[in-house]
Amino acid sequence: MDFWNDVVTRKSWEVLRRLRRDYDFVVIGGWGIYLWVHAVKSRDVDIIVSNWKDLERIKKEFNARKNDRLKKYEIVMEDIDVDIYVPYYSRLIIPCEDLLKMTVIREGFKTPKPEPLLILKQQAYFERIDSMKGLKDRVDIMSLLINGVVDIDEYEELIERYGITHYKNELEKIVRNSKEEFRYLGISNPREIKKLKKELLELLKSGPRSKS
């Protein structure tokens, strides 16, 4: 089942496609995860713009607002909130300038690999744990793990590199405490849920594989 109203998510997707026609950017957030696993669609749009010319054009065309507290730019297109992050200004847990080196092309969009996307989603979750968006964050996190696109070794290397090794323990907590999240991923069989949780916890506890 979709988390948000289908009319809203469809409009959000069209906003993303429209922006792609005119600007160069990297998709992060819920839509970035959707490009990997096609599980739950997003309501808001989150992008990284690396080209200052594109940023200036966006600011002019959409009357972008600079949010100095959250270190991002904000625009509204067709009632859809678009958050714009930029290198050397925005405060993502993995700096934008590093994320730009971790991208691949998925369905015509630039987006980071699953491991940095997972870490960014954890950062978002920590900032809104008890909200409806916090639940959506957990659903996105579980969708990445269940679909098997995350390389745990790469994930551990990244959290080590950026000094956030506690993220792994927090990730285990999310898996261990997950219940409602499975419903949004179309999984309702209690035995299947129990099996998936056990497999994911074993994967997370296994630690990095030795490299020859």
**Domain total of the chain:** 1
As a whole number, mean pLDDT of residues 55-72 equals 96
Q: Is residue 197 part of a domain?
A: yes
Q: Is residue 210 part of a domain?
A: no
pLDDT at res. 206: 73
pLDDT at res. 200: 96
Q: Is residue 86 part of a domain?
A: yes
Q: Is residue 170 part of a domain?
A: yes
Domain that includes residue 58, residue range: 6-205
Q: What is the pLDDT of residues 139-168, one digit of tens each?
A: 999 999 999 999 999 999 999 999 999 999
As a whole number, mean pLDDT of residues 25-29 equals 98
Distance, CA of 113 to CA of 107 (rounded, Å) = 13
Q: Is residue 35 part of a domain?
A: yes
The CATH code of the domain that includes 138 is 3.30.460.40
Q: How far does Cα 31 stand from its chain's mean position? A: 7
Q: What is the pLDDT of residues 82-140, one digit of tens each?
A: 999 999 999 999 999 999 999 999 999 999 999 999 999 999 999 998 888 899 999 99
**Residue that has been written with the tokens 């949780």 in this structure:** 197
Point out which residues pair with 85 in neighbouring strands: 48
Q: Is residue 211 part of a domain?
A: no
User: What is the rounded radius of gyration, in angstroms, for the C-alpha atoms of the chain?
Assistant: 17
Q: Is residue 107 part of a domain?
A: yes
Q: Is residue 1 part of a domain?
A: no
> Which secondary-structure segment (H or E) carries 75?
strand 72-77
Distance, CA of 24 to CA of 52 (rounded, Å) = 10
Does residue 128 contact residue 137 with C-beta atoms inside 8 Å?
A: yes
